Structure 1
């Protein structure tokens, strides 16, 4: 029989309890949980490296203090507002890949085992042009492969890809399946983080 472990994403703490010691106490003392996934909305990934390292250390200390296990980090609403690795502009795609590399480094520093989430969204124009869509999807697969290598070097176990709801984003299991890959030599597995709610969004087909 499959065993499930209940945990919580720290998105509930965004703007309310941004300090790790605050949300960690809530998770442990009020919710009675010991497994967390940290929202990257609470991390200054575009800030100085010294700030990111300090934030990671604060997460690590808070989790240790309250007996929490940090499973992973995950994109939040801020990243979901961007096209990321499917942006029409190649320089913006490169910036998004750099952003994910910083997420990988932060996760390793904080003691997590995986990171990922929303990886990209097609623009309306690109989604409507089959050739362009295929070109960008192939670029996405290559970028995810490079990030899987970066995650392996950082000591992580998995790179997560979330299924989204709109058709312009990786949404169907068939489409997501083209992005997933098992672990290999010097790269972690690219695995699905299944959002069951996104599978039943009205009007998305």
Structure 2
């Protein structure tokens, strides 16, 4: 078996609001012994709040710093700025178009020109859609098409690997291993345009809160949990919690009568 060659890189998020120019944070990273860098769009390099003139200047200064210090930005990644929007899953197509045209496509072009890759977490599913199976299905079908088109654009503009970050809660899909496999497969199945994933091990710390309970655990919660209206399990939708509450009340009444 031939294993891929892997480089250890350092993200420049530590530099936020302190070292805000390429010529200030890049030598710090090189001094730590890293020659491969992941640059966060959050560190004064985001298309949502910076002008094109500034972005162009930033990239020129980055090139100078890379040559001067012998380190290279291998990938660009989004952070908290873009986490604050439902983005590509927004019900209003105008928001989606704005994100695609104003953020993603410029980011892909930049990455392609610099022989770098990029990634983001740019969709969050609104609660009313989460609670409706049909709307949830339709939302994901739209997402698959959007991401397939992004994958095509990335392929045609420098063979950029676009990565979607695996998140940690149900409304930030994909958020499980199997869900990630399904997510990537469904995108690729449309037109053969690949989208990749990024595994953030820090996101795994909270996923246990959303594990689907076994049947035995549900039965136990119905008979052993006090009548407080609080379910100790994660059941997903509001309708599932409503059914649980109804069964809990039925058991409580039955026990009171016996």
**1:60 is the counterpart of 2:63:** yes
Distance change in 2, residues 1:166/1:6 (3 Å): same
Q: Tell me which residue corresponds to 1:204.
A: 210
Higher RCO (CA < 8 A, seq sep 6+): 1
| Structure 1 residues 3-58: Cα deviation after superposition (integer angstroms, max 9, x where no partner) | 542111111111111100111010001x1111111101121313332322222222
Q: Distance in 1 between the 2:128 and 2:54 partners?
A: 38
* Aligned pair partner of 2:25 in 23, 26, 41: 23
Distance change in 2, residues 1:177/1:183 (3 Å): closer
After TM superposition, give the deviation of residue 168 of structure 1 in Å.
0.5
**1:70 is the counterpart of 2:96:** no
Q: Note the residue ranges of structure 2 that are not aligned, 5 or more in a row.
A: 212-258
Q: Distance in 1 between the 2:160 and 2:106 partners?
A: 16
* Aligned pair partner of 1:13 in 2, 12, 15: 15
Q: Tell me which residue corresponds to 2:36.
A: 35
| Structure 1 residues 43-79: Cα deviation after superposition (integer angstroms, max 9, x where no partner) | 1313332322222222222222211122110111111
Q: Distance in 2 between the 1:105 and 1:50 partners?
A: 15
Q: Distance in 2 between the 1:44 and 1:106 partners?
A: 12
Alignment: residue pair count: 202
**1:87 is the counterpart of 2:90:** yes
Q: Tell me which residue corresponds to 2:184.
A: 180
Is the Cα–Cα contact under 8 Å of residues 88 and 126 in structure 1 kept in the other structure?
A: no
Q: Name the stretch that deviates more: 13-22 or 87-96.
A: 87-96
**1:101 is the counterpart of 2:102:** no
Following superposition of structure 1 onto structure 2, how do residues 133-148 of structure 1 map, counting pairs within 5 Å? 133-148=136-151
Distance change in 2, residues 1:183/1:199 (3 Å): same
* Aligned pair partner of 1:190 in 195, 199, 202: 195
Is the Cα–Cα contact under 8 Å of residues 86 and 121 in structure 1 kept in the other structure?
A: yes
Q: Distance in 1 between the 2:57 and 2:159 partners?
A: 19
| Structure 1 residues 108-139: Cα deviation after superposition (integer angstroms, max 9, x where no partner) | 34x24211120311011111111111111111
Is the Cα–Cα contact under 8 Å of residues 183 and 189 in structure 1 kept in the other structure?
A: yes
After TM superposition, give the deviation of residue 183 of structure 1 in Å.
8.2
Distance change in 2, residues 1:180/1:148 (3 Å): same
After TM superposition, give the deviation of residue 195 of structure 1 in Å.
1.1
Distance change in 2, residues 1:156/1:18 (3 Å): farther
Q: Tell me which residue corresponds to 1:122.
A: 125
| Structure 1 residues 148-199: Cα deviation after superposition (integer angstroms, max 9, x where no partner) | 1221222133111110011101111222223325989x98631111112212
User: Quick check: which has more Rg, 1 or 2?
Assistant: 2
Is the Cα–Cα contact under 8 Å of residues 37 and 72 in structure 1 kept in the other structure?
A: yes
Distance change in 2, residues 1:54/1:86 (3 Å): same
Q: Note the residue ranges of structure 1 that are not aligned, 5 or more in a row.
A: none
Distance change in 2, residues 1:78/1:119 (3 Å): same
